[in-house]
Chain A
Amino acid sequence: MPDAVLVPPDHTAPVAFTRAQLEWLPWLEPLAIEALTERHMASLVDAARLKSPYFRLLARDPDALEARTRTDKDIFYNPDAGLPRAERELAAAATSRFNGCVYCASVHSRHAATYSKREADVQRLLDEGVAADLGERWNAIVAASVALTATPIAFGPEHVDRLRRSGLDDLAIADVIQAAAFFNWANRLMLSLGEPAAGG
Chain B
Amino acid sequence: MRIPGTDADVIDALVGITPGSPLDAIRVRRPEARAQAQATYRALFAPDVPGNVTAQERFAVGAFVAGLHGDAAIAAFYAARLSDSGASTALREAVDAAIAAAGTQGPYGSYPAGPLSREDTPGPAYRAAAATRRALGPRLAAAFEHVHLLVFHPRDATPVALQALLDAGWSTTDIVTLSQIVAFLSFQIRVVGGLRTLAGRP
**Chain A: residues with CB nearer than 8 A to chain B?**
2-7, 13-17, 27-29, 57-58, 60-61, 63-68, 70-71, 73-75, 78, 80-82, 98-101, 129, 148-153, 155-157, 159-161, 170-171, 173-175, 177-178, 180-182, 184-189, 191-193
B7 contacts chain A at the CB level, 8 A cutoff? no
B166 contacts chain A at the CB level, 8 A cutoff? yes
Residue of A61, A156, A170 near B43 (CB, 8 A) is A61
A160 to B26, CA, bound (A): 15
Q: Among A14, A180, A184, which residue has the most Cβ atoms of chain B within 10 A?
A: A184
Whether A61 and B30, one on each chain, are in contact in the complex, defined by CB atoms closer than 8 angstroms, is: no
Number of B residues contacting the other chain (C-beta, 8 Å)? Answer: 72
Whether A61 and B177, one on each chain, are in contact in the complex, defined by CB atoms closer than 8 angstroms, is: yes
**Chain A positions within 8 Å of B70 at CB level:** 152
Whether B191 and A192, one on each chain, are in contact in the complex, defined by CB atoms closer than 8 angstroms, is: no
New A-B contacts (5) at CB < 8 Å, excluding given A58-B176, A150-B107, A160-B197: A60-B172, A61-B173, A71-B37, A152-B69, A184-B183
Whether B111 and A15, one on each chain, are in contact in the complex, defined by CB atoms closer than 8 angstroms, is: yes
**Chain A positions within 8 Å of B157 at CB level:** 191-192
A7 to B160, CA, bound (A): 11
Whether A16 and B187, one on each chain, are in contact in the complex, defined by CB atoms closer than 8 angstroms, is: no
Whether A181 and B176, one on each chain, are in contact in the complex, defined by CB atoms closer than 8 angstroms, is: no
**Chain B positions within 8 Å of A61 at CB level:** 43, 51, 173, 176-177, 180
A50 to B97, CA, bound (A): 43
Whether A16 and B68, one on each chain, are in contact in the complex, defined by CB atoms closer than 8 angstroms, is: no
A149 to B162, CA, bound (A): 24
SS of A interface (majority): helix
Given contacts A151-B69, A156-B197, contact A170 B154 (CB under 8 A): no
Whether B155 and A184, one on each chain, are in contact in the complex, defined by CB atoms closer than 8 angstroms, is: no
**Chain B positions within 8 Å of A149 at CB level:** 107, 190
Whether B115 and A64, one on each chain, are in contact in the complex, defined by CB atoms closer than 8 angstroms, is: no
Whether B193 and A153, one on each chain, are in contact in the complex, defined by CB atoms closer than 8 angstroms, is: yes
**Chain A positions within 8 Å of B195 at CB level:** 174, 177
Whether A67 and B197, one on each chain, are in contact in the complex, defined by CB atoms closer than 8 angstroms, is: no
Given contacts A61-B43, A153-B71, contact A67 B150 (CB under 8 A): no
